[in-house]
Amino acid sequence: MKKVLFATTALIATAGVASADVSVGGYGFLGVNFDGSANTTTISHATRLTFSGSVETDSGISFTASSRITISGNNDNGQLGHNKITMSSGGLNLAVGATHGAMKTTARIATFHGFNDGGLYYTAGGSGIDNNISTHNDSGNNILISYSAGDFKVAASADVAGTTQEIAASYTFNSFTIAAGVDSSAGTRWMLGAKYNGGNWNAGLGTNSNSDIVLTAGYDISDATSIGFGVDAASGSTINAVGLQVKHDLGGANLIGAVGQVGGNNTVASLGVMFSF
């Protein structure tokens, strides 16, 4: 009787989502990190699961809901978070919830190095994630709307409380992309970015209202191996972060090694494996 009840319940539950696309994905990583400031080497591992479901209306409008859970180390208390709802039609997109906002999604130049989802160090202007320039990030609750038409993109965002608004735009021509963004805060914070995609190599240059300078470069040595470089310099030539990463595709997983300096003189390094599923 229980089996019949469970089967009937499952049929009723799935009948309403017959046209929906539901997926579960994520990643896992395992490796070692070295921190020169403490002269310690630690083992790092984590799993992230991402849940998403999408539907498309008869008129062609797509709706997607997503959330994720991250379990690091030996913790068993991971919780669902980073909830986001998106709606798209043609070149128009609307996202509400955990979004990066207009400036970060359009005008940021950044590198994220390390097998641990790029968490060893990052070069993105000042604090590393531009929180000193943009308050909109993927752990916040924001509204982001963007429109793309060919090589041109424009975006606007605001936190749900309506405290800060942002607007940004980018344009791509002959493999070059230039972008700019500003917000509504006192003193008007801004970002400028330019990048070039040369096929097997790329380069980027960014700056912001704090006078940070970010330079990035990448090169594909072969179909399986690539190198990446990034430097983040603050006003007055202080180096926030600088480093080099090498990534090799093992066929189903990536072996990633990175070394750099953060905070001016702290050497950090890591070696590990990351895979997606």
Span 86-118, pLDDT tens digits: 999 999 999 999 999 999 999 999 999 999 999
pLDDT at 126: 64
Q: Exposed, middle or buried by CB within 10 Å (0-12, 13-18, 19+), for 251? A: exposed
- Residue 6 inside a domain? The answer is no
For residue 253, what is the domain's CATH number? 2.40.160.10
- Residue 11 inside a domain? The answer is no
> How many whole angstroms separate alpha carbon 130 and alpha carbon 108?
9
Instruction: Provide the domain count of the chain.
Output: 1
Count of CB atoms situated within 10 Å of the CB of 185 = 15
- Residue 9 inside a domain? The answer is no
Q: Are 134 and 209 in contact (CB under 8 A)?
A: no
pLDDT at 77: 79
- Residue 49 inside a domain? The answer is yes
Count of CB atoms situated within 10 Å of the CB of 110 = 20
Nearest to 212 by CA among 108, 110, 106, 126: 126
- Residue 8 inside a domain? The answer is no
Count of CB atoms situated within 10 Å of the CB of 258 = 26
- Residue 153 inside a domain? The answer is yes
pLDDT at 57: 95
> Where in the sequence is the domain holding 221, given as residue range(s)?
19-276
- Residue 70 inside a domain? The answer is yes
- Residue 14 inside a domain? The answer is no
Which residues of the chain carry a pLDDT beneath 50? 1-18, 127-128
For the four alpha carbons of 147, 171, 125 and 275, in that order, the dihedral sign comes to positive
